[in-house]
Amino acid sequence: MADVLSQDEIDALLSAISTGEVDIDKAKSEEEEKKIKLYDFKRPDKFSKDQLRTLQMIHETFSRLITTMLSGQLRTSVQIQVTSVDQISYQEFIRSIPELTLLTIYEMGTLEGSAILEINPSIAYTIIDRLFGGNGFKELEIYREPTDIESKVMEKILSKILGYLSEAWKDVTEVMPRIEQMESNPQFIQIVGPNEMVVVISFEIKVGNKSGIMNICYPSPLIDPIVSKLSAQYWFSNLKKEKTEENFEIIRERLNKVKVPLIVNLGEIDINFNEFIKLQVGDVLSLNTSIDKSLSVLVGNKEKFKALPGLQGKKMAISIEEVIEEGSE
């Protein structure tokens, strides 16, 4: 709703027009300019804002997962957050990253095509230094290609990082990332045509007091087959899907295969350490229970049953006398 002017404001506006302080033609032209929105037909938007928001949510989950993993691997404070999600041409992406960087080209498994994971050298060499036992905080020589050993070490850590993409994407589609090659010069990488649109997800990574940028580049042909699933409605419907009887059966079947320890507490006795170390084969200990008294039966560390001791053939056995209910367990 437009603002309602008071009488004093109307009088002041009329006075400014009459004195020439306000140019009506100029004001009209400025208003027309505001209505014009530039559109480049050579670079049409391939993805809607809703689809980009879904990609952002997927990769916010991914960033939380790898934050926990890297904190444990590097044994230091690691913070990772999504800073932007943009759709640009592949040529613009290549031009936006350093001439010497750490590029990982990987397949997505179920999706045809390749994607790129790029880590800025400022943070890549900090991670390498931490993995090699350094503190990661000293000034490192970052404007060089990694050695063969450094490349192998980073390949292992990057394989773990990419593994968490499967978990992040699981509510949209199944992906199985696999590293194809690693490169340090972006000019040697051409996964799509220069004018092909790509989605670039940028992350800020902080390791201790060092920070750097990581980018994930998805070409549009890679995402096109699942673009209909990249809506918030679809994503949240998958997150909140109803539990069907089939799901219950799967859970029940898996629980039935879980092995748990069953322990019968036959009784207790207090002895001192001197008596304990003198125990020998054949010694008899008198417990504080009798043969006609119920024994506690533990499942794990929880008391679940009361039972009486006895024999089943030549084997010791118990007879369940009472089931102990504890809340809804």
- Domain extents for the chain? 49-235, 292-329
Per-residue burial over 147-177, b if 16 or more Cβ lie within 10 Å, else e, is eeebeebbeebbeebbebbeebbebbeebeb
| 180-218 pLDDT per residue, tens | 888 888 888 888 888 888 899 999 998 888 888 899 999
| 130-189 pLDDT per residue, tens | 888 777 655 555 667 778 888 888 888 888 888 888 888 887 888 888 888 888 888 888
| 86-112 pLDDT per residue, tens | 888 888 888 888 888 888 899 888 888
d(CA 196, CA 189): 14
d(CA 157, CA 172): 25
pTM metric for this prediction: 0.58
Q: Positive or negative CA dihedral for 313, 315, 316, 320? A: negative
Q: What is the CATH number of domain 49-235?
A: 3.40.1550.10
Q: Return mean pLDDT, the chain.
A: 79
Q: What is the CA radius of gyration of the chain?
A: 33
Structure confidence at residue 328 (pLDDT): 44
| 120-134 pLDDT per residue, tens | 888 888 888 888 877
User: Given the DSSP bridges, would you call strands 114-119 and 102-107 parallel, antiparallel or unpaired?
Assistant: antiparallel
Question: Which residue has tokens 């994503």?
Answer: 235
Structure confidence at residue 43 (pLDDT): 56
| 49-58 pLDDT per residue, tens | 888 888 888 8
34, amino acid identity: K
Which string of DSSP letters, residue by residue, matches 153-179? HHHHHHHHHHHHHHHHHTTT-----EE
d(CA 54, CA 87): 14
Q: Positive or negative CA dihedral for 312, 317, 323, 329? A: negative
* SS3 at position 306: strand
Nearest Cα to 271, choosing from 255, 287, 257, 256? 287
- Could you give the C-alpha distances from 40 to 37, 84, 300, 315, in angstroms and in order? 10, 21, 66, 84
Give the strand order in the sheet containing 78-89.
Answer: 78-89, 197-207, 210-219, 114-119, 102-107, 178-183
From the CB of residue 113, how many other CB atoms can be counted at a distance below 10 Å?
A: 16
As beta bridge partners, residue 309 has 318
Structure confidence at residue 20 (pLDDT): 61
How many DSSP H helices and E strands does the chain contain? Answer: 10, 10
Structure confidence at residue 274 (pLDDT): 87
d(CA 222, CA 109): 11
